[in-house]
Amino acid sequence: YLVGGAVRDQLLGLPVKDRDWVVVGATPEQLLDRGFRQVGADFPVFLHPETGEEYALARTERKQGQGYHGFSVYSAPDVTLEQDLLRRDLTINAMAEDESGALIDPFDGAKDIRERLLRHVSDAFAEDPLRILRTARFAARFQSLGFRVCPETMALMKSMVAEGEVDHLVPERVWQELRRALQEHSPTTFFRTLRQCGALKVLIPELDQAPQYEAAMGFLDGIRAHSGTLEQRFAALLSPLSPDTACTVADRLKAGNDCKSLARLACKVRATLVEIAATNPEPATILELLNTADCWRRPERFAQLCEVLACTLPEPLQPQADLLQRAASACDAVNPRELMDQGIKGRALGQAIQQQRLQRIARLINEPTTKEQP
């Protein structure tokens, strides 16, 4: 049986990216004998020898402990398709299609698709706190189609948070859902849903308070409007925070190094530009920011940083961000080879490069409308 997202997306008229299958009445040995390859040790999931698509034995799950890993799995041949669908998170993901294309929909997922509702299949939803994040992610994905979390499911999510289930989520799983959510159509919907049910206060308390939260959502909407890479969206999300706090959050979430470094850099540069906004910036301060950004060795990351700043700095401070970019361009004209040809080398070469860069930045600050000449 074709199951899950493929069936859902077909009904929504969306392109089907991945097809997953459930096999009823079979054993692992039977699939292995047919050339299927088993993947993972926790669940009876196999890869088709030709298509590479996932085939899972129908299974039930029983709660045995707290958090995502607190389950025992039963996948004997007597597990029915309906029992397998019953363990799934949302009704829109609990539909199947047989070989003839007939829809099997025991929990009215098609009806919820028509009504644009994200509804839990059963009370077993409460056994897996990761489903709170998944529901929020689907809300982010389908926001443009008008989907919303139904009141009963939101009430259940709130009770799960109150009972401490979210506290037991491992950081790696949280980050996996978070990085997916950041790349969805409306990532702010993900965080609004988490805040509504109380999970944001547990997972990222630094962003739960109104000033930081509202700023983060505005920044995230801004970078999303410019597309924005995962790293840029994460940096925009954490931009209301101090550099040290941003690092603390990134470390706790086990965020990737690229995400963490750009977030810290964006917070540091943004904070400095805000701090010097009331006065004419010193050339040394601008050069220090360029060196901190490592803009000459990592020009692509510097370009990403400037896009984040454009979406996170208030309008009166946009000239500061523009100055940073113009200063980098002006300093590009400093040619170390010319200085070396003059016999300057070693530590003196580094000092000479810095001095010429400072001079060019000073000219920009004093004559901001003058085009810099090499």
Tell me the pLDDT tens digit for each residue of 326-346: 999 988 877 777 777 777 778
Neighbouring residues of 221: CB distance < 8 A, sequence distance ≥ 6? 188
Please determine, for residue 228, whether its predicted confidence score (pLDDT) is greater than 90.
no
Q: Which pair of tokens denotes residue 358? A: 């400072």
Neighbours of 148 (CB within 10 A): 16
DSSP-derived secondary structure letter, 163: T
Neighbours of 32 (CB within 10 A): 12
Cβ–Cβ < 8 Å for 224, 233? yes
Q: Give the residue-averaged pLDDT of 146-172.
A: 96
Report which of 143, 105, 74 is spatially closest to residue 4, judged by C-alpha positions.
105
Amino acid 372: pLDDT:
44
Q: Give the residue-averaged pLDDT of 216-241.
A: 93
**What are 260-318's pLDDT values in tens digits?**
999 999 999 999 998 887 777 889 999 999 999 999 889 999 999 999 999 999 888 88
277 vs 275: CA distance, rounded Å: 6
Sign of CA dihedral 157, 161, 163, 169: positive
Confidence of residue 370 (pLDDT cuts 50, 70, 90): very low
Q: Give the residue-averaged pLDDT of 247-259.
A: 95
From 24-33, 206-215, 307-316, 329-338, the region with the lowest mean pLDDT: 329-338
Please determine, for residue 67, whether its predicted confidence score (pLDDT) is greater than 60.
no
Cβ–Cβ < 8 Å for 148, 117? yes
DSSP-derived secondary structure letter, 370: S
Please determine, for residue 373, whether its predicted confidence score (pLDDT) is greater than 50.
no
**Average pLDDT score over the chain:** 90
Please determine, for residue 257, whether its predicted confidence score (pLDDT) is greater than 50.
yes
104 vs 320: CA distance, rounded Å: 59
Report which of 94, 113, 88, 91 is spatially closest to residue 11, judged by C-alpha positions.
113
Q: Which pair of tokens denotes residue 84? A: 């397998």
SS3 content of the chain, % helix, strand, coil (to 5): 60, 10, 30
Q: Give the residue-averaged pLDDT of 99-105.
A: 93
Report which of 288, 237, 283 is spatially closest to residue 262, judged by C-alpha positions.
237
The amino acid sitting at 3 is V
**Residues 178-199 as b or e (16 or more Cβ within 10 Å = b):** bbbbbbbebbbbbbbbbbebbb
Please determine, for residue 10, whether its predicted confidence score (pLDDT) is greater than 80.
yes
Amino acid 276: pLDDT:
83
3-state secondary structure of 52: coil
Portion of the chain with pLDDT greater than 90, in percent: 61
Confidence of residue 42 (pLDDT cuts 50, 70, 90): low
Amino acid 371: pLDDT:
46
Ordered structural domains, the chain, with CATH: 1-108 (3.30.460.10), 116-203 (1.10.110.30)
